[in-house]
Structures are given as C-alpha cells and as structure tokens.
C-alpha cells in the first residue's frame, strides 16, 4: 500500500506555521505567486492570494493550507495615517 498524501506531507500544525495566521511581515522576494517573506524574524515560503506582490512590501498572513502560507499585500501600513 502506498502512503496517503496526509501521511507524507507536513501539516501547518506540525511545522508550526498555523501560529503565523493573522500576523504581518514583509516580502523578501517577488511573490508570483510564490516567494519568500520574513514574519516575526523568520524566513517563510509564502504564496500570494491573487495578484503578484513585489519584493519589500508589507503582507498579512491570511491562512495556512497544509504547508502553504497564504499572504495578501497590506496596501496601507499601520504607521501611515490619512
């Protein structure tokens, strides 16, 4: 018998990724759709939700799907006021 995908794939919980949901960080590389970001000082492989995100842009972690960390660009940083 061959192992199932669940048997051989690390889950977000097992790899400590689920704790990142709701946090923010910054892209290190362009995400088109996959790339790299720094979240809480940790380098994380991420996937953009929808459109491409340029490097050095603020992002928020929407969800973790297995070992995929899905991010969206934060269009206005919290330090900016209108």
pLDDT digits (tens, 9 = 90+) for 47-57: 999 899 999 99
Cβ contacts of 68 within 8 Å, gap of 6 or more = 47
| Mean pLDDT of the 26-38 span | 96
Contact (Cβ atoms closer than 8 angstroms) between residue 71 and residue 46: yes
> What is the model's pTM?
0.76
Per-residue DSSP letter, 1: -
């Amino acid at each position: 018998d061959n192992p199932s995908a669940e048997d051989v794939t690390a889950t977000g919980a097992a790899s400590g990724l689920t704790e990142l949901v709701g946090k923010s960080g910054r892209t290190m590389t362009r995400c088109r759709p996959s790339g790299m970001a720094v979240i809480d000082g940790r380098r994380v492989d991420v996937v953009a939700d929808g459109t491409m995100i340029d490097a050095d842009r603020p992002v928020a972690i929407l969800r973790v799907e297995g070992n995929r960390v899905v991010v969206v660009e934060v269009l206005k940083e919290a330090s900016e006021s209108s």
